[in-house]
Amino acid sequence: MKTELDSERDFSQQIAQTIRDAIVSGDLPVDGRLPSEADLATRFNVSRPTVREALKRLAAQNLIRTQRGATGGAFVNRLSFAQAQEHMVTTATLLLSMNAVDFETACEARFALERACLPLACTRRTPAHLAGLRAEIARQGTDGLSDEDFCASDVAFHRALVEAAGNPVLSWHMAGAVEAMQPLMNMITFTARSRAQIIARHTDLATALANSDLVAACAALDDLASYTLELGGEIRTQRHARRTSTGQ
Amino acid sequence: MKTELDSERDFSQQIAQTIRDAIVSGDLPVDGRLPSEADLATRFNVSRPTVREALKRLAAQNLIRTQRGATGGAFVNRLSFAQAQEHMVTTATLLLSMNAVDFETACEARFALERACLPLACTRRTPAHLAGLRAEIARQGTDGLSDEDFCASDVAFHRALVEAAGNPVLSWHMAGAVEAMQPLMNMITFTARSRAQIIARHTDLATALANSDLVAACAALDDLASYTLELGGEIRTQRHARRTSTGQ
DNA sequence: CAAATATTAATTGTCTGACATATGCCGAGA
DNA sequence: TCTCGGCATATGTCAGACAATTAATATTTG
C-alpha cells in the first residue's frame, strides 16, 4: 500500500483512495480489519483526525464499518445488495430531482427496464411470487387507502414483479429505477377511477405471469406505461395551469 | 434544520444525514453555500473536527465540494449524470466481485437491460449514432488489438447503442451494468475466431438499427448474448480444469 | 488618477494532546 | 469453577492552535 502523499491534494482524500483501491483489488479481504487509526496515522505520516476523515469517507460509501472497544477497529464491509440498492435509490432520486428530469423520461426508462424483466419472470415465477403480486393487488383495492400507501403498494408490486425474474443483479438495477420514481409518482392524486385502471392492469400482468404468457404480460405493461404517462401528463397540465393563473 | 443530536449514535453521521436531507429536500439549493465549519460546529454544538468528518462523508458522495480561502466553504454539488455513472460503476463492480456473482447472472442482467433499449434505439437512432457504432466495429477488426482494447471498444459499442435510445436515465442505468461487466469480460481471451463472431453480431445489430428493424436487432442481441455466455462458459471450464489439476 | 503592492479577514486543511467511552481479556477472589 | 473488577486497546469527541489559500481592502507609488 502506497504511503507517500502528494501535498498538493487533500491528504484525507488520497488516503481514502489508497484504502479503497486496496479493498477493490482484494488486497484487504472482506471482514478484514484495517490497521488502527493511530497505526494508519503513523504509516501515512499524518495526524489521527486526518486519518479519521479518510475513514469517514469510506464509511459513507459503506465500504467499511467501525467498532469501538478493545478488539474494535475498521472492518471491510461486504457490500450487500440491500445496501447497494439503498445507495442507488438515493443517488437516482437526487439525479432526477437535481437535473430536472421530466416525468416522461423517467417513466420511459423505468418501464423499458421493467419490460426487460418480463421474459425471465414469465419462465421463473414461482407460486410465492404470484401470491405476492396478488397480495399487493388486493391491498391496492382497499377502501380508504391514502395516495402514499397506494404508491408504496405499487412499488411493492413492481418490486415483486422484478424479483420474479430471479436475477439479483437485475433486481438491484430495477429497485433503483422504480423506487427513485416514487417521489414523482407521489405527486399524482389517484382518483378512484385511476386506481381501478391501474389495478386492472396489475391484475392482467399477474394473470399473464401466472399463465407464463409473455405477449399478454408485455401488453399489460405497455398499457400500464401509457396510462401512467397519461396521468403524469394531466398533472403537468394542472400544474402548468396553476402556474399560469398565479402569474408565475 | 434539526440541530439536536442523539448522543447514542455518531455525531458526524447524524450531522451528515441532516445536511443530506436538507440537500435532497431542496432546502439547500444547488451551488448554495453551507455555513462555515465553525458555524456548523456552533449550531450542532459539537467540535470542528466532528463537523469536518460529517462534511467529508458528504464529499465522498459528491454531494458537496469545498473551496479554501476568504469566500470559500462547502457548496452543494449538482449531481451530474457523469458523476453518478462513475459512482454506479464502482458500486456495481464491487457488488459483482464481493458477492461472487457468477458470469451467467451478470450476463443475463446486462443483456436483458440492453434489450430494453432496443425499441427506443430503433426509432430514435440518428446517423451520428450509427456512425459511432460502425466506428467501433471497425476498431474491433483492427489487427494486433489487445484483448483489453477489444473489450474497451466492446463497451464503447454498447454504450453507443444505449445512447441511441436517447434517454439519459436509461443510459445511466445501462452504463453501470455494461461497464461493471468489463472486469469479467477482460478475463476472456478473445481468439481471432471469437472476435470475428462478435464483430459479425455487432454488424448485424448496427444494420438492424439502421433499418429500424426491431426484430432483427433483438435477434442479433440474443445471438450475441448466447455467444457471450458460451465464451464465458469455456472460461469457467478451463479455470475449473486448472483448479482441479492443481488440486485446489 | 491609476496601477501595482501590501495588509487583512475569512475559511479550509492539518496538527497536537487530551479525555470520554466501549469492549474484550485476564487475573484475583469467592 | 465461576464471577467480578481492573487493564489494555480502540474509537468518539473536544479544545486550541497554526498553516495555507483566497478575496477584498487599504496603501503606496508612478
Of A53, A63, A168, the CB nearest to B53: A53
Measured between its terminal Cα atoms, the distance across chain A in Å is: 57
Q: Give how far A53 is from chain B: nearest CA, Å.
A: 5
For chain A, the residue count is 248
Q: Assign residue B188 a region: left if phi > 0, alpha if psi is -120 to 50, beta otherwise?
A: beta
The pLDDT-based confidence of B95 (bands split at 50, 70, 90) is confident
Q: Give the pLDDT score at B1.
A: 78
Q: Using CB atoms, which residue from B57, B78, B109 is nearest to A173? A: B109
Question: Average pLDDT in the B231-243 region?
Answer: 66
Interatomic distance B142 CA / D29 C1' (Å): 67
B41: the nucleotide nearest its CA (via C1') is: D14
Shortest Cα distance, chain A CAs vs residue B143, angstroms: 31
pLDDT for residue B111: 92
pLDDT at B183: 78
- CA B100-B106-B110 angle, to 5 degrees, is 160
Cβ within 8 Å, pair B116-A116? yes
Phi, psi of A65 (to 5 degrees): -125, 155
Mean pLDDT of chain B: 89
pLDDT value at residue B9: 93
Q: Identify whether the C-beta of residue B115 lies closer than 8 Å to the C-beta of residue B214.
A: no
Residue of higher predicted confidence among B33 and B106: B33
Which bases in strand C are touched by protein, i.e. have an atom under 7 Å from a CB? 9-18, 21-25
Q: How far is B193 from chain A (nearest CA, A)?
A: 30
pLDDT at A248: 39
CB atoms within 10 A of CB A135: 14
pLDDT tens sequence across B6-24: 888 999 999 999 999 999 8
Percent of chain A with pLDDT strictly greater than 90: 60
What is the average pLDDT across A165-175?
90
Query: A153: part of which helix (H) or strand (E)?
Result: helix A147-163
CB contact under 8 A, B167 and A105: yes
The pLDDT of residue A245 is: 57
Nearest to A113 among B92, B97, B173 (CB): B173
Residue A239 has pLDDT above 70, yes or no: no
Q: Which of A95, A111, A120, A178 to mutate to test the interface with B (most CBs of B within 10 A)?
A: A95
Q: What is the mean pLDDT of residues A5-14?
A: 93
Over residues A60-73, the pLDDT tens digits come to 999 999 999 999 99
Q: Is the pLDDT of residue A14 over 80?
A: yes
Say what the pLDDT of residue B247 is: 42
**Residue A228 pLDDT greater than 70, yes or no:** yes
Mean pLDDT of all residues belonging to chain A:
89
A vs B: CB pairs below 8 A: 150
**Where does the pLDDT of residue B244 fall: very low under 50, low under 70, confident under 90, or very high at 90 and above?**
low
| Among chain A residues 65-104, those with CB within 7 Å of any atom of strand C | 67-72
Residue A235 has a pLDDT of 66
What span, in angstroms and rounded, lies between the C-alpha atoms of B200 and B193? 11
In sequence order, what are the beta bridge partners of A205?
A: none
As a whole-number percent, the residues of chain A with pLDDT over 70 amount to 94
Protein CA at A70 to nucleotide C1' at C27, angstroms:
17
Q: How far is the CA of A70 from the C1' of D3 (A)?
A: 21
pLDDT: which is higher, B246 or B110: B110
Nucleic strand C under 7 Å from the C-beta of B73: yes
| CB atoms B173 and A177 under 8 Å | yes
Give the C-alpha distances (Å, rounded to integers) separating B94 from A8, A21, A24, A121, B91: 29, 11, 7, 26, 5
Q: What number of other Cβ atoms are within 10 A of residue A17's Cβ?
A: 15
- Rounded CA separation A162/A178 (Å): 10
Distance from CA of B155 to the nearest CA of A (A): 18
Q: D13 C1' – B177 CA distance, angstroms?
A: 41
Q: Nucleic chain C: which protein residues 11-50 of B have CB below 7 A from it?
A: 34, 36-38, 48-49
Establish how many alpha carbons lie within 13 A of residue A233's alpha carbon, considering only the half-sphere containing its beta carbon.
8
pLDDT at A247: 43
- Mean pLDDT over residues A218-224, rounded? 95
Residues B111-148 have pLDDT tens digits of 999 998 999 999 999 999 999 999 999 999 998 898 88
Task: Write out chain B in H/E/C secondary structure.
Answer: CCCCCCCCCCHHHHHHHHHHHHHHCCCCCCCCECCCHHHHHHHHCCCHHHHHHHHHHHHHCCCEEEECCCCCEEEECCCCHHHHHHHHHHHHHHHHHHCCCCHHHHHHHHHHHHHHHHHHHHHHCCHHHHHHHHHHHHHHCCCCCCHHHHHHHHHHHHHHHHHCCCCHHHHHHHHHHHHHHHHHHHCCCCCHHHHHHHHHHHHHHHHHHHCCCHHHHHHHHHHHHHHHHHHHHHHHHHHHHHHHHCCC
Q: Is the CB of B68 under 7 A from strand C?
A: yes
User: For the segment A103-138, what is each residue's pLDDT rounded down to a tens digit?
Assistant: 889 899 999 999 989 999 999 999 999 999 999 999
Nucleotides of D under 7 A from a protein CB: 8-17, 20-24
Q: How confident is the model at residue A244 (pLDDT cuts 50, 70, 90)?
A: low
pLDDT band at B44 (very low <50, low <70, confident <90, very high): very high
**Residues sharing a CB contact under 8 Å with residue B178, sequence separation 6 or more, in sequence order:** B110, B114, B155, B158, B159, B162
Domains delineated in chain B: 11-76 (1.10.10.10), 82-245 (1.20.120.530)
Distance CA B91, CA B130 (A): 30
pLDDT category at A161 given cuts 50, 70, 90 is very high
Residue numbers in B near A88 (CB within 8 A): 88, 91
pTM above 0.85, yes or no: no
